[in-house]
Each structure stands twice: as structure tokens, then as C-alpha cells.
Structure 1
Amino acid sequence: MKLVVRLALAFALVAVFAAGLTGWLGYQEARDHFQNFVAGNEAARSGETLSGGTPGRGRQILLAQLQASSWRSSLLALGVALGVGTYLAFRLVQPVQALTQATRRFGRGEHAVRVRVQGRDELAELGRAFNDVAAELAAKEERERQMIADIAHELRTPLTILKGDLESMSDGLLEASSENLRRLVGEVDLLTRLVQDLRTLSLSDTGQLVLRPRLIALDGLVEDALASVQPRAEAAGVELEATLRPLSTHADPERLKQVLLNLLENALRHTPKGGRIIVKLDSEGENARLEVCDTGPGIAPEHLPHLFERFYRAEPSRARESGGTGLGLAIVKALVEAHGGRVDADNRPEGGARFWICLPLKGQA
């Protein structure tokens, strides 16, 4: 029931109850006084002496008694009405007080606090909204806390390697050979990529990610990305296949190429020697659909819902050797959604993983 209806009914109930109680009490006392007055008149007609004196005097006494009973009835009804009104007001205000206390406790850091919700009126909806917001804020804080812990973990390993090896070189325990220096440069590159990836996600979270869209040929962009990873694919013994339909759309070519490279590098990390990576580009209604498939082991069902989470790795043991930051797929999701598209992943029936993105299509090349 709507709050305004409940308030109107509460006021009406108090008013009707007070009026009814006043009338009933007044009627009871008036009946008794009137019966005494009639009995006195009958006694006067029969020659008996009136206790109040003359009939005129009896009428004055009756009017005074009726007036007094009216005041008593009104005061009693007013007291009862105040009591009923106070009770109803307390019942209506109680959810507001509970919500106020919960809000103050939440502001003090008690993020597990929730309000008890009953009914379907405006106050109940407000309570549900508070619970939803509180749950979302608590989850967001937990995600931020976990992300900080993940960042610290990701930074600790390369920094520990750099510190240990540089100290060993300084003490003469480790030779400053070109191989050792290249390995240290690789750790610096990993740190640089991590910082760049974190900045990209931070800009996306705050709505400050700048896109410079222009009309581009998607098939040409995919060919450029394939050419960039071709040397690594050949070194890994992985074959690249592409079936590309000429399509064009408005997009930021640099950001979109970053998406393609992340997907291709992810496929390379999970495709064994002698395997293949298949890239398909075609139209799907008013969208362009790009698929990056591999012939690797596929993705375990329990990992599918978490693939695009930050620092999530289906195979943590391979994280260091793969050279990834754990943010590649999260960046893919952020950049694709910034272009008004969507991204997802599943397993192919014939085996291997499949990542696909859909982007709004604007004309054909």
C-alpha cells in the first residue's frame, strides 16, 4: 500500500474514531440526564416535589449536564485519539528511524549493515534501494581492496628480481652479461606494461578514456595486427589463419588494434606448438563480428564467468612465463564497451577457445 494512502487512512481513522467515541459517550450521558429530566417532569405532574425545584430550573440543570458531558466526552475522545495517532505515527516513523540509523552506521564503516524491509510502499522501496546501494558499495570496496592486493603482488615479483640481481651484480656475484641485462630489461618492460594497463583501466573507470574515432577498414586493421604477431607465432610453431570480409566502421584504430593484439597474444599463450589460431571477420546484422579462435585446451567452465576480471588468470602457474600482466582481457572489455560493442568467450564444439567481439557497423569498405 502506498505511503500517502496509509497516511490518509491513518488520519481518517483517527478522525472517525474520535468523532464516533465523542458521539457515543455524549449519547450515553445525555440519555441518562434526559431520562432523569423526564422522570422529574412526570413526578411534577403527579404532584411530587422536584429535587431541582421548578421545571425551568430542571431544564437549566439538564443543559448544564449535557454541556459538561459533551466536554468530558470530547476530552476523553481527544486523549484516546492522541494515543491512537501516536501509535500510528510511531509505526510509520519506525522504518525511517531504522533507515537513518543504518545510514549512519554505514557511514561509520559498518558496511555489512542492512535494513529490514517489509511491505511494498515507498518506505519499503527506499529500504530496498539502501540495501542494494550498500551491497554494491561494499562489493566495490572489496574489489578495490583485492585489486590493490593484486597490484602489490604483481609489482613484488619483478621488483624483487630486479633488486636481487642488481645487488648481486654490484657485489660481483652475478655477471653483468648481455643475457642477464636483457632479462632485467624484460622485468622493466613488464612493469611498464603493468603501469600502462592500469592507467588505461583507470581512465576507463573514470570516464576519461579518450577515443579518436574515424572511418577505418576493419579487415585492414586485423591484417596489421596479424602481421605484428606473425614472428612470435612462427617462433612458437603456431599457424595463423584468417577469413576476413571487407568491412568498415567508425573506431579508434590504435585502441582497436590494442584489443586485437591482446586477443591474439592471449590465443598464442594458450595454443600449443603445431596448433592454429583462426581469425574470422564477418557482419552480423548491424554489427561487425570478429572471432579469435585457437586449438588449445579450451577454457574450463568455472573460469568462463571470470575471464574479463582484472588480474584473473585461469592458469596462475603460467603467468610469469607468459609475460602477461593479467589485465589484457579486462582492457579488451573496457575498450570494446567504450566503442559501444560487447565481448564474450566460449569453447568451440571442435575444441579450443573462442573470443568474439561485436562492434556497431557503419558502412562497408
Structure 2
Amino acid sequence: MFTAVRELLRGRFARRLALAFAALGIGTAALTAVLVNTAFTARFEDYLSEQQHTRQQQLVSLFASDYRRDGTWDTRSLDQLAPTVTMTGSEAELLDASGRKVWSLADANVDAAMSAMHRDMMGTGDLGPPSSLPVTVDGQQVGTLQVRVPQGTVPAVDKDFQSSVNRQLTAGAIAAALVALVVGAYTARRATAPIAELTHAANDLAAGRRDRRATAIPDNEIGQLATAFNTMADRVEKEDQLRRAFAADVAHELRTPLAIQRSQLEAIQDGISKPTQEVITSLHEETLRLARLVADLETLASADAAAFTLERRPLSLTVLVTDAVTGLGDSFAEAGIAVRTDLDEVRVDGDAVRLRQIVTNQLTNALKFVPRGGTVTLTLRREGHWAILRVADTGPGIPADDLRHIFDRFFRGSTARANGSGIGLAVAAELTTAHGGTLTADSIPGHGTTFTTRLPALDGT
């Protein structure tokens, strides 16, 4: 049994929990023993007090009967009571109604040692405290009996019974401790096994095993924690996959313009070509391409701290959206995409630069997907306490598999017409959240996509 208990007690928390169960069992048994012994002690004290009271009343009745027979106190008659008083092991002294001494055992030539001998013979114990008891005959007090009667002793059978109960309680405490230890160890093992599994899974995940998951998932709070851990691990693994894909995409994006620049510059150095205006323009375009990629990366890094760097002020969202559309007018015209606006006057409290970035990122996303001849429509309305901006296009729509991920960092749709960093919509979503709003998308493949931005509106707009 002890080997099994040791197996169950692996782990510091399991040991503590099992020992707590054992301590509870021992404490319960100890408390029961205290209560039982307290009850015994009280019962024995009542028993001894009752014995003393009975002896006192017997002596009072004895002296009252003597007075009733003679109608007065007669010392010669009282001397005849001396043997009876002595046999009880008591000491007695009689006073009359006026408080004068009438009689005592000493007056009857009874030695105190004689009373002590009788107490030892009868095992009635030592004398108790003195008591003054009235002697009443026919309702009238005729004297006072001052006595000390033996305190009495607890019968041996009662003492044996108490000892037996204490032994049983001790054995019960030991048994309860063992049972509690085994039950506690088993319970602790079952309770801590999922925690140990979760700890090992967390350590493995921290060590680089991104596929590690918690396998013990009980139907309780620990199970909820394990489920949350697995969800977190899934997200970490997904982030790693997206990050690796993003790194490959960034490497590709950097490699192309750098390769072009290198080849053209080496051609000029080798004298194969001359630094004509056309070559310089090409180099400039590749440099701008690199600058845009770097700017996207900087934007992503700053989006995490946007809530702490927003420079808020009351502004017209209507004017801001109009300016963003105007700024990209040439790009839409070059792509052959029509832009329509239907904007109500709505004011918000926000950072003008960041809010414009939210709108611009949605518009540039449309430039990647909407084919020539398509249309992008922007509507701005106030609905309750919210400013609602909708950017709807007539593009090919977003596949259902992609729609779930369009706001994920580093994600790029498989149907994008142009290369990009794949972080524009993620940045827009994070900046919208930093303003206390939301950015959502609805799309039906073949019927276009609608992005909806909700921002807290200022009162009075």
C-alpha cells in the first residue's frame, strides 16, 4: 500500500494536497476525542456532585429525625449518631437555631483518623469543601449542620469505558489518517495530472516544439485552461507559419528590385550601358518600390503601439475620406476603376493620419483586386453612436477560405493582381481597434466585397 501511495505522491503539489487530506482526517479524529472526553469529564463531575449531595442530604435527614424524636437537641442522643457519621467518612458539627455549637464528632470522642480510615476502606475519596446545611423540622429551621463529605470516586467500570473509548478514537484517528492519505493521494494525482501535462506541454512549446499540445483535457476549469493553451499554441504555430511565409515574400520582394538595380549598375560600371534617363528612371522606380516595402514594415511595427501614440482631436471624417479618395484618384483612373462617394457629414475623435491610413489601405486593397472597368463605392453614415464607412467594390470577391484570414498579419490573398506586403488590411484593422472601433468584411465570390468600418461618432454630428 505504501508503495502505491508513493507512486501517487509524485509531485510537490500532490504531496501537499495528500498531506492536507491526512491532516484533516487526524484533526477530525482529534476534535472528536476532545469532545468525547469533555463530555465524559462533565458527566463524571455531575456524578460526583450528585454523590456529595446525596451524602449531605442523608446526614441532614439523620439529624432532623433525631430532633423530631426528642423535640430538642440532646447530646447523648447525638453521640449515638457518631458511628453512622463516621462510617460515611464525613466530618460534622451541629449548631442550634441561634448559631451556638451543640455537637461535633470530636465531642463524641471520634478521632478524625477513624473517618479517614473509613474513606480509604470504602474508596470514597478525600473530603470535599465544607458546607453549611439547614436542618428543618416541620418547616422550621432548628439548626445548621456543617459538614465535609467525601468527594466520591468514579467507578472503575466508567474509567475503563473512557479508556476503551480513547483507545478506539486513537485507532480511528490512525485509520482515518491512512484512509485520508490514500484518498488524498489518489485525488491529488487525478487533479494534478492534467496540470503536469499542461506544464510539460508549455515547456515543450517554449523549447521550440510548436506542434506540442495538451492532451489531458478534463471537464473542469483545468480543462478550460488546457483548451485555452491549445488555442494559444495553434495561434503561435499559425503566426510562425505566416511569419516564415512573410519572410520568404519579403525576401522575394527585396530580391527583385535589388537584382534589377544591381544588374543595371553593373552594366554601367562595365561600360555595357550608359546612365541614360531611361536607366535612371528605372533605378528610381525600383528604389521607390523598396521604400514602399520598408514603409509597410514600419507601419506594421507602429500599429502595435497605435493606441498609445494616437494624437486625437475632433475632426470631420467626411473631409478625411474625401481627401483620401482624391489622393488616390490618379491611381484609380490609371487602373480604369470608377470611384463613387455618398458621404454624410459625420465627426469623430481620432488621429487624422491614422484614420486616413485606414481608408487608404482599404482603397489600395481595392486597386489590387478590382478589374479594369470595375467600381468602388464609398458611403458614410451615422447610425446611433457609430460612424459607419462602407467601401464596396465590384471585384471578384474573396474566397471563403481567404475571408477568414484577410485581417491576419502577413496574409496575402491568392488572387491579388499585384505583389505587396500583405499587411495593409491587418494594419487598418489594428488602427481601427485602437480608435475603439471595428473593421469587418463581407464578400460573395463573383459579386464583390464590402468593408465596413465602425468608429465612435461625436455627439451633435
**Residues 238 and 276, structure 1, Cα contact 8 Å, conserved in 2:** yes
CA contact (8 A) 1:114 1:134 kept: no
| 1:236 counterpart residue number | 335
Larger gyration radius, structure 1 or structure 2: 2
Aligned residue for 1:280?
A: 379
Structure 2 unaligned regions, length at least 5:
1-13, 31-155
Letter in 2 for 1:252: D
> How has the CA–CA distance of structure 1 residues 150 and 232 changed in structure 2, closer, same or farther, with 3 Å as cutoff?
closer
Identity of aligned residues (%): 35
Write the distance in 1 (CA, Å) between the matches of 2:223 and 2:272.
Answer: 70
User: In structure 1, what residue type is equivalent to 2:337?
Assistant: V
Matches within 5 A, 1:53-202: 77=175, 80-81=178-179, 86-111=185-210, 112-120=212-220, 123-202=222-301
What is the CA distance between 1:303 and its match in structure 2? 2.5
Cα 1:356–1:9, aligned 2, differ >3 Å: closer, same or farther?
A: same
CA–CA distance in structure 2, aligned partners of residues 251 and 241 of structure 1? 25
**Matches of 2:20 and 2:392, distance apart in 1:** 65
- Counterpart contact for 1:201–1:334, Cα < 8 Å: no
2:457 equivalent in structure 1? 361
Change (3 A) 1:206 1:146: farther
1:53 alignment counterpart: none
2:403 maps to which of 291, 304, 326: 304
1:95 and 1:347 mapped to 2: Cα distance?
42
CA RMSD of aligned residues (A): 4.1
Per the TM alignment, residue 73 of structure 1 is displaced from its structure 2 partner at its CA by 5.7
For the 8 Å contact 2:361–2:424, the answer to whether it is kept is yes
User: Quick check: 1:345 aligned with 2:444?
Assistant: no
Cα 1:306–1:89 shift into 2, 3 Å: closer
Give the AA of the match of 2:362.
L
Partner of 1:332: 428
Q: Once the 2 structures are TM-superposed, how far is the Cα of residue 361 of structure 1 from its aligned partner?
A: 0.7
State how far apart, in whole Å, the 2-side matches of 1:78 and 1:113 are.
Answer: 40
TM-score, length of structure 2 as denominator length: 0.57
Distance 1:171 1:209, change over 3 A: farther
Instruction: Please tell me whether the aligned partners of residues 247 and 363 of structure 1 are also in contact (alpha carbons under 8 angstroms).
Output: no
Runs of 4+ in 1 over 6 A off after TM superposition: 6-9, 16-19, 69-72
**Alpha-carbon spacing, 1:10–1:313, altered in 2? closer, same or farther (3 Å):** same
Q: What is the rounded CA distance, in whole Å, between the counterparts of 1:174 and 1:193 in structure 2?
A: 28
> What does residue range 183-262 of structure 1 map to in structure 2 within 5 Å?
183-206=282-305, 210-262=309-361
Give the CA deviation at 1:90.
4.1
- Distance (whole Å) between structure 1 residues aligned to residue 324 and residue 289 of structure 2: 21
Aligned-pair distance for 1:312? Answer: 3.0
Cα 1:123–1:289 change in 2 (3 A) is closer
1:95-118, Cα deviation, whole Å (9 max, x unpaired): 444444334333333331424122
Distance 1:110 1:246 in 2: 53
Conserved 8 A contact 2:310-2:351: yes
Give CA deviations for 1:182-218 in whole Å, capped at 9, x if unaligned.
2221221121111112112112224576211211112
Deviation at 1:128, TM superposition (A): 4.2
Deviation at 1:359, TM superposition (A): 1.2
Query: How many Å separate the matches in 1 of 2:169 and 2:19?
Result: 27
Q: Describe the superposition over 1:254-297 as per-residue Cα deviations: whole angstroms up to 9, x where unpaired.
A: 22222222222332333333333222111122111112222333
Q: Which amino acid aligns with 1:325?
A: S
The 3 A distance-change label for structure 1 pair 293 and 177 is farther
User: Does the 8 Å contact 2:307/2:434 carry over to 1?
Assistant: no
Q: Is the 8 A contact 1:115 1:131 kept in 2?
A: no
Higher mean Cα deviation, 150-159 or 311-320?
311-320
- Work out the CA distance in 2 between the residues paired with 1:208 and 1:309: 19
Name the CA distance, whole Å, in 1 between partners of 2:449 and 2:384. 24
Instruction: For structure 1, list consecutive stretches of 5 or more residues without a partner in the other structure.
Output: 20-58
Change (3 A) 1:243 1:331: same
Partners of 2:304 and 2:213 in 1: how far apart? 27
Across the two proteins, how many residue pairs are aligned to each other?
317
Structure-2 separation of matches of 1:249 and 1:76: 74
Q: Deviations over 1:312-365 (max 9, x none)?
A: 333467324xxx433222222122222112112223799333222111111355
Q: For 2:434 and 2:303, how far apart are their aligned partners in 1?
A: 8
Give the counterpart letter for 1:262 in structure 2.
N
Q: Which amino acid aligns with 1:331?
A: V
Q: Equivalents in 2 of 1:215, 1:76: separation in Å?
A: 76
Q: Is the 8 A contact 1:346 1:353 kept in 2?
A: yes
What TM-score does the superposition give when structure 1 sets the normalisation length? 0.70
Name the SS of the counterpart of 2:388 in structure 1: strand
Q: Distance in 1 between matches of 2:169 and 2:314?
A: 87
Distance 1:161 1:130 in 2: 46
Change (3 A) 1:242 1:114: same
Change (3 A) 1:10 1:146: farther
CA distance in 1 between partners of 2:224 and 2:182 (Å): 28
Is the partner of 1:319 in helix, strand or coil?
Answer: coil
Amino acid at match of 2:364: E
